Chains A and B, each alone.
Chain A
Amino acid sequence: MGIVNPAKLSGHLILLCSALMTGPAFAQLDLSGTWNPQYQEDQPERIPGPELVDYLGIPINAAARQWALSWDPDRLGAPEHQCQVHTAAYIYRGPLQLRIWEERDPETQELVAIRQYTSTYEQNRTIYMDGRPHPPEYAAHTWMGFSTGKWEGNILTVYTTHIKQGWHRRNGIPSSDRITLVEHFIRHDNHLTHVSVVTDPVYLTEPLIKSEDYVLNNNSGGNWLWPCEYVEELPGADRTKVPSYMPGENPFLHEFADRWRIPVDAALGGAETMYPEYSKKLKAGAK
């Protein structure tokens, strides 16, 4: 048996430790905990809520625009709409506490799924990490959809399908039930960044990319319950009526644009309004 060179051994150990710490198979971070969103980004849209006919910065097509312009907020008063909640592609923008925990195989301790509970509307979400396939096209859709995840370095990347029809912005901009969602969860110590990329072949001309930030909160008592139960807001109302504006008759068409002194065309959104160059165009048009 030869003599072990201590310097050589320590070098091997350092290399081994480095490999264990940085190699793809061991790069999984633990996202477990309760996270609170920070609202400094897009606060007006996320907390008080977007104004009517403010479609700026959303890459909508003409169909989405007509859908949104015909949308009368009274529709949310219908009993069947009252408990409609946000989809997985939208909920992370809202006021919520986000609790994350892992589900591991009791025998192997391998990661089966990452689970999430969002306090607003009591929504539970499962991100499968075990490589299972997505359901067939003819399966039912849900608010949270069906999600599978994988680690890309220290980033959890999630792919979601089977999401219900909802909204890209909660002032009537629709999201179809054919959207797909790619998300990245990125942890830096006690800070979590969530980036989402939504593709909607029905209502968007380009992917809609959003981000939000969260901080770890050891006090998880804010995970409240929200068992929605509808009420009759207008007793005697005809439940078969669907509040909507006829094409060209939305009474709020100019409200947001006039208030912020921008052209109505800008308020009506579209891919062009996402980019910085558009502000130059507006300034040029104002001269």
Chain B
Amino acid sequence: MTTYKQTMPRIMLGASVLLGTFLMMLGPADIARAQQKGKGGKQGTPTEKPLTNAEVHILKVQGNIYMIVGPGGNTALQIGDQGALVVDTQYEEVSDKIVAEIRKLTSKPIRYVINTSADPDHTGGNAKISRAGAPVIGGNLGAVAFENGATIVAHENVLRAMNAAAEGQAVSNPDMLPTTTYFQGQKEIFFNEEPVLVMFQPAAHTNGDSMVFFRRSDVIATGDIFNMDSFPVINVDKGGNIQGVIKALNLVLDITVPKHEQEGGTYVIPGHGRLTDEHDVLEYRDMITIIRDRVQNMIKKGMTLAQVRAAKPTLEYDGRYGSTTGSWTTDMFVEAVFRSLSEKK
């Protein structure tokens, strides 16, 4: 398929005028990205291999929205006359496959990438997928003149997390970094004839989580605040807290409206796992709240983390969401809940 880039004439522009205009538009995120470029940063890669053979599948949700399922966190895709908007980019190894799935649906440029967190399984494909598109500001022209990709939107703390590198260690690929960040409340975008709300969820999975609500299509992409294949990953060391997760889940319940008998209506794309609706979120919220209340009760009784674990506060949910192996075990989840409730802020 011929892309818009190939069809654009390679015009050499009056660079000084346009460059000045672009520099005036740069926000802190862009500046940080430029600084990273200056450092000659090395691309960050996921630790689990191999991913190149992983399959990628696409599922129509409703309205303008699709869900792309692959080895990383779920990707939400919005398409329309203005182009494509991508929420979370999984791993770099499957970027070409994700772009190929998008190209089956539209030949229009990818204009936005939104990250729900800084996790590598949600941001790993940022660079390639952004590069496959072009920003709204500057548009196709800017993409050719300055090699700008699609705008990457995230909370400021995502940029900070991705930009952070210990002394002497390689930093993230600057092309992966968010180019537009927001600090509080929500970032609003009107794209493809619908409001897209990027809503900050403080201290939940991490300290930089966003949920994305497609208001006309009536679909929410939650990121890792809500996972259908595990207990929620709560990274306490990165500002996560179970109270924030519950607050975010309750917000989802406030937004969602079932179509009939607590089914359908608003659909929810979780960070991982199958497509869901309000009832699925409800059962998950109930579970997390019950576990929170139990652990809180045990802490009040003076129980230690070891004693809490031994009491198995997650027993009835372990068969569905628990794990004794892998990167997020039930023990780790219980510890995160315990720390969320017992450590002083």
Contacts and interface: CB of A to CB of B under 8 A. Distances in A.
A247 B262 contact: no
Contacts of B250: 239-240
- Of B250, B262, B267, B278, the most chain A CB neighbours within 10 A belong to B262
B13 interface: no
Chain A, interface SS category:
loop
Contacts of A85: 261-263
A136 interface: yes
Nearest to B290: A244
A62 interface: yes
A41 B165 CA distance: 68
Interface in A128-154: 136-143
A67 B316 contact: yes
Closest 5 pairs between A and B when the two form their complex, measured CB to CB:
A67-B316, A140-B275, A242-B289, A202-B319, A66-B316
Interface string B295-320: 00100000000000001010111111
Interface string A201-245: 111000000000000000000000001100000000001111010
B336 interface: no
Contacts of B290: 70, 242, 244
B262 A80 contact: yes
6 contacts: A63-B316, A63-B319, A66-B316, A122-B261, A140-B275, A201-B319
B31 interface: no
Given A83-B258, A240-B250, A63 B289 contact: no
Contacts of B282: 80-81
B285 interface: yes
B316 A164 contact: no
B110 to A, nearest CB: 22
A164 B320 contact: no
A244 B293 contact: yes
A75 B297 contact: no
Contacts of A3: none
A63 B59 CA distance: 33
A178 interface: yes
A142 B263 contact: yes
Contacts of A165: 279-280, 283
B260 to A, nearest CB: 7
Interface in B175-201: none
Contact of A141 (B57, B280, B311): B280
A184 to B, nearest CB: 26
Interface of A: 61-64, 66-67, 70, 75, 80-81, 83-85, 121-123, 136-143, 164-165, 174, 176-178, 201-203, 227-228, 239-242, 244, 246-247
B37 interface: no
A84 B319 contact: no
B321 to A, nearest CB: 10
A62 B315 contact: yes
Contacts of B315: 62-63, 66
Nearest to B281: A80
Contact of B67 (A70, A83, A138): A138
Given A240-B246, A242-B285, A177 B280 contact: yes
B114 to A, nearest CB: 21
A247 B273 CA distance: 29
Given A142-B263, A242-B290, 16 more contacts: A70-B290, A70-B316, A83-B261, A85-B263, A121-B261, A122-B260, A136-B57, A136-B59, A137-B274, A139-B274, A141-B276, A164-B279, A201-B319, A228-B262, A240-B246, A246-B294
Nearest to A62: B315
Given A201-B319, A203-B319, A80 B253 contact: yes
B289 A240 contact: yes
A140 B274 contact: yes
B69 interface: yes
B261 A138 contact: no
B263 A143 contact: yes
A80 B57 contact: no
B277 interface: yes
A233 to B, nearest CB: 16
A123 B263 CA distance: 11
A123 B69 contact: no
A136 B286 CA distance: 26
Nearest to A245: B290
A136 B315 CA distance: 28
Contacts of B316: 63-64, 66-67, 70, 174
Nearest to B288: A242
A141 B59 CA distance: 14
A202 B320 contact: yes
B230 to A, nearest CB: 14
A139 B316 CA distance: 24
A176 B320 contact: yes
Nearest to A244: B290
